[in-house]
A and B are shown apart, each in its own frame.
Chain A
Amino acid sequence: MKKAETPPPFIAFPHRHLLGIEGLSPPEITALLDRSEIYVEQNREADKKRARLVGRTVINLFFESSTRTRTSFELAAQRLGGDVINMSVMTSSVKKGETLIDTAMTLNAMHPDVLVVRHGDSGATQLLSEKVNCAVINAGDGSHEHPTQALLDALTIRRRLGRLQGLQVAICGDILHSRVARSNIHLLGTMGARVRLIAPKSLLPCGIERMGVEVFHDMKDGLKDCDIVMMLRLQSERMRGNFFPSTREYFRFFGLDYDKLANAKPDALIMHPGPMNRGVEIDSEVADDIGRSVIREQVEMGVAVRMACLEALSVNLAKAEGRA
């Protein structure tokens, strides 16, 4: 099997951390996506390893459970030759009364190079980034941002449709609790796509229109002529109170089925960040429609995007250390 070329060094990402999509410029996003493309091809080959992170230590620090994202980051770091440690903090230190900053200071003393952090509170990764010397990647903070998810979504779309500019994207469902939605709103808006949000009013944050999106409460209206239908998971674990009456009612009005999907463009792509609640936010048949659903492809893109992000930050670290 042909061995892929080692890509040229990454120079176009000037940030120390990747805490969110907000604030990234179109060239920065494009650079990350371009870089990810290379890793997509590489990951499909037998020899998946590159030496970009050799000698670097990546700590996956997860305060919330997540097998998929953690594994994706772990694989990404390993394929770049880095050392990876997974720390799950839900049941250990926090129970002993340790604060987030205590944890950060402890980890800092171990001299990691990149911390990949998921936390249930919005802004927690930002706080952590101010207390450590290493680079921090936000792997999801509360209902705030999940930048690598937005990047992998963008990569999936770009590979399928060749562009982001000018596309009409509908993000549907639990916008209120979704960090995926926020990161995607920033990214797609920055890259010139038009974003619609479709949800019951009770699952929409106040003033979300000011983020430059169009808001709909009716799936059929909202999906009209869309190129992309991005479904979101109902984040029941984040809901305090009841934001909709029942899952059967939710599915009736806001679940994606072929009847509602018929209003989108005939070749509209279906996306979902997973894990899916089948029969609640998306009909199984639609989710498994191999012609239109790119849900599995999103997972594949995730590893490549995370490789690009890890590499980008490690290049910057090297610069700061005077090694590049």
Chain B
Amino acid sequence: MNSRSITLDALTERSETPTPTGRPLAFVNARILDPASGADIPADPKGGVLCRGETIIAAGGDIFAASIPDDAQVIDCAGHCLAPGLVDMRIQIRGAGFLSTGNAAVAGGVTSAACLPNTDPVIDDMSVVEFIARRARKVGLVKVYTYGAATKGLEGREIAEMGMLAEAGAVAFSDAVKVIADAQVMRQALSYAATFGLLVVQHPEEESLAGDGVMNEGETASRLGLSGIPREAEAIIVERDIRLAELTGGRVHFAHISTAAALDAIRRAKARGLAVTCDTAPPYFALNETAVGDYRTFAKVSPPLRAEDDRAAVIAAIADGTIDAIASDHSPHSEDAKRLPFAQAAFGGVGLETLLAVSLELYHNGHLDLLSCIEKLSLSPARLLGLNAGALTAGAPADLIVFDPEQGWKVDADTLNSKSKNSPFDGRPVQGRVLTTVVDGRIVFRA
């Protein structure tokens, strides 16, 4: 177990600084998990995190050994875990709106989220980036960052104004749920983005091969009479884009990887030192294609839930570091969009509120230690997107969660905070619950 020493001198010095807003917040008696420093410090009444205004002043095992500042609002974490707020690198807001998304996010322990550019209007113009940031700020729950469209209108033909979008605040570039299919356009996107050191995020699915498939190609699809999407559709684009990243020197990131073949390609690319990264989402390590059951449209996601061997490969790749991050891939849909024959129903599921609990299965099942699990959900995505988040370091934003990794509960779509209820995990028993969420030093959620 790592430990970290933070001197009281530093704390005292900082304490004399005028407080920008409100009283300081002192979280005490918590097991501190900080992926940035590698610290996993057992709960101790003398340890904790002190926030002042929007900033963490100090964190560590003995910061309150002398005393807790007199004016502090003290929150006793009762031995539960205290970690940086989760950074969700892939959500869609869609029709759900900022309030519903914000409520779902903070209930799930997410303090920063990057929203895909497939909004209406599409985020291919600076004004939309600024508009979304403004709206999200007004709601004041989760911090919303935006992707910029990689191509104008998400049409896959002409690259978008990446430089200016990045200046306006776009954190990475993607065509959202659409693959950048044309190899020349992808080359130009990677090449142009590399000019500014920007990240291009690909939805890897060879669309002509995926065709009109609605679930994973295989025995289950054949039995159900549903058209299938072969797993090769993912690997083909991944292999192609790795070559293009090598050609251009660009940074490519693959979203929601779901197959062993694609992971093998990414593993090899990383071993060669290429700027290739990827994430996955809880459905791909917690579910397999059998979740489709009798045409359960909540299990219709993109890419589709794969076979068991792919699911096992995803877990192995999370454990060995091939998969850098876990994102919720939150995709809210109205009931109308899902209450349809399977082939006609929309792809996607909500995931913000179940992100931590389902991800903690990796810890409970012995695939990851708790700190590594938190790292995949906070620091790692923050680093990929260049966000100042995911750390409990002094000076970092006061975005925190208190959670109990052991508390069991059952996902019930009807009780989700999200306006949309299309969770592929509806009815699933899970273990791990967010108790408190703090954004910029403000408590925005309490269980």
Binding site for B on A (CB under 8 A): 200-202, 206, 217, 241-246, 248-249, 252-253
8 Å CB contact of A252 from B152, B159, B163, B249: B163
| B195 and A202 form a contact (CB under 8 A) | yes
| A201 and B184 form a contact (CB under 8 A) | no
Of the listed residues A201, A217, A243, A246, the one surrounded by the most CB atoms of chain B closer than 10 A to its CB is: A201
With A and B bound together, what is the CA distance between A242 and B247 in angstroms? Answer: 17
Between A and B, 30 residue pairs with Cβ closer than 8 Å are A200-B192, A201-B194, A201-B249, A202-B188, A202-B191, A202-B192, A206-B247, A217-B194, A217-B195, A217-B196, A241-B184, A241-B185, A241-B188, A242-B159, A242-B185, A242-B188, A243-B192, A244-B159, A244-B192, A245-B158, A245-B159, A245-B163, A246-B161, A248-B161, A248-B164, A249-B161, A249-B164, A252-B163, A253-B163, A253-B195
B119 within 8 Å of A (CB atoms):
no
Which residues on the B side are within 8 Å of A244 (C-beta)? 159, 192
| B159 and A201 form a contact (CB under 8 A) | no
With A and B bound together, what is the CA distance between A253 and B191 in angstroms? Answer: 15
8 Å CB contact of B164 from A201, A202, A252: A252
Of the listed residues A241, A243, A245, A253, the one surrounded by the most CB atoms of chain B closer than 10 A to its CB is: A245
| A245 and B152 form a contact (CB under 8 A) | yes
| B184 and A245 form a contact (CB under 8 A) | no
Which residues on the A side are within 8 Å of B249 (C-beta)? 201
B89 CB, nearest partner CB in chain A, Å: 23
With A and B bound together, what is the CA distance between A148 and B161 in angstroms? Answer: 36
| B248 and A249 form a contact (CB under 8 A) | no
Which residues on the B side are within 8 Å of A252 (C-beta)? 163-164
Which residues on the A side are within 8 Å of B191 (C-beta)? 200-202
With A and B bound together, what is the CA distance between A240 and B191 in angstroms? Answer: 15
A202-B195, A217-B194, A249-B163 are known; give 4 further A-B pairs, CB within 8 A: A242-B158, A243-B188, A245-B159, A245-B162
Task: Encode contact with A along B234-259: 1 for CB under 8 Å, 0 otherwise.
Answer: 00000000000001111000000000
Number of interface residues of B (CB under 8 A): 21
Which residues on the B side are within 8 Å of A243 (C-beta)? 188, 192
B41 within 8 Å of A (CB atoms):
no
Interface of A is mostly: loop
A198 CB, nearest partner CB in chain B, Å: 10
With A and B bound together, what is the CA distance between A206 and B191 in angstroms? Answer: 11
Which residues on the B side are within 8 Å of A217 (C-beta)? 194-196
B160 within 8 Å of A (CB atoms):
yes
Binding site for A on B (CB under 8 A): 152, 157-164, 184-185, 188, 191-192, 194-196, 247-250
Which residues on the B side are within 8 Å of A253 (C-beta)? 163, 195
Which residues on the B side are within 8 Å of A246 (C-beta)? 161
Task: Kindly report which residue of chain B lies nearest to residue A243, judged by CB atoms.
Answer: B188
A208 CB, nearest partner CB in chain B, Å: 13
Which residues on the A side are within 8 Å of B163 (C-beta)? 245, 249, 252-253
Which residues on the A side are within 8 Å of B196 (C-beta)? 217
Which residues on the B side are within 8 Å of A201 (C-beta)? 191-192, 194-195, 248-250
Of the listed residues B157, B160, B191, B250, the one surrounded by the most CB atoms of chain A closer than 10 A to its CB is: B191
Of the listed residues B158, B160, B163, B247, the one surrounded by the most CB atoms of chain A closer than 10 A to its CB is: B163
With A and B bound together, what is the CA distance between A16 and B157 in angstroms? Answer: 47
A247 CB, nearest partner CB in chain B, Å: 10
B155 CB, nearest partner CB in chain A, Å: 12
**6 closest Cβ contacts across the A-B interface?**
A202-B191, A200-B195, A249-B161, A245-B161, A202-B192, A217-B195
| B160 and A245 form a contact (CB under 8 A) | yes
With A and B bound together, what is the CA distance between A202 and B188 in angstroms? Answer: 6
Of the listed residues B184, B191, B195, the one surrounded by the most CB atoms of chain A closer than 10 A to its CB is: B195
With A and B bound together, what is the CA distance between A151 and B142 in angstroms? Answer: 60
A132 CB, nearest partner CB in chain B, Å: 37
Which residues on the A side are within 8 Å of B159 (C-beta)? 242, 244-245
With A and B bound together, what is the CA distance between A217 and B250 in angstroms? Answer: 13
With A and B bound together, what is the CA distance between A241 and B157 in angstroms? Answer: 8
Task: Kindly report which residue of chain B lies nearest to residue A240, judged by CB atoms.
Answer: B184
With A and B bound together, what is the CA distance between A288 and B162 in angstroms? Answer: 30
Task: Kindly report which residue of chain A lies nearest to residue B159, judged by CB atoms.
Answer: A245
B190 CB, nearest partner CB in chain A, Å: 9
With A and B bound together, what is the CA distance between A245 and B175 in angstroms? Answer: 15
Task: Kindly report which residue of chain A lies nearest to residue B189, judged by CB atoms.
Answer: A202
B61 CB, nearest partner CB in chain A, Å: 44
With A and B bound together, what is the CA distance between A201 and B247 in angstroms? Answer: 11
A237 CB, nearest partner CB in chain B, Å: 17
Which residues on the B side are within 8 Å of A241 (C-beta)? 184-185, 188
A216 CB, nearest partner CB in chain B, Å: 10
B192 CB, nearest partner CB in chain A, Å: 4
| A245 and B185 form a contact (CB under 8 A) | no
A322 CB, nearest partner CB in chain B, Å: 54
A288 CB, nearest partner CB in chain B, Å: 26
Of the listed residues B162, B188, B248, the one surrounded by the most CB atoms of chain A closer than 10 A to its CB is: B188
Task: Kindly report which residue of chain B lies nearest to residue A199, judged by CB atoms.
Answer: B195
A56 CB, nearest partner CB in chain B, Å: 47
With A and B bound together, what is the CA distance between A201 and B185 in angstroms? Answer: 14
With A and B bound together, what is the CA distance between A248 and B249 in angstroms? Answer: 25
B440 CB, nearest partner CB in chain A, Å: 31
A3 CB, nearest partner CB in chain B, Å: 55
With A and B bound together, what is the CA distance between A244 and B195 in angstroms? Answer: 11
Of the listed residues B160, B161, B162, the one surrounded by the most CB atoms of chain A closer than 10 A to its CB is: B161
With A and B bound together, what is the CA distance between A239 and B196 in angstroms? Answer: 21
With A and B bound together, what is the CA distance between A201 and B245 in angstroms? Answer: 12
Task: Kindly report which residue of chain B lies nearest to residue A242, judged by CB atoms.
Answer: B158
With A and B bound together, what is the CA distance between A310 and B91 in angstroms? Answer: 66
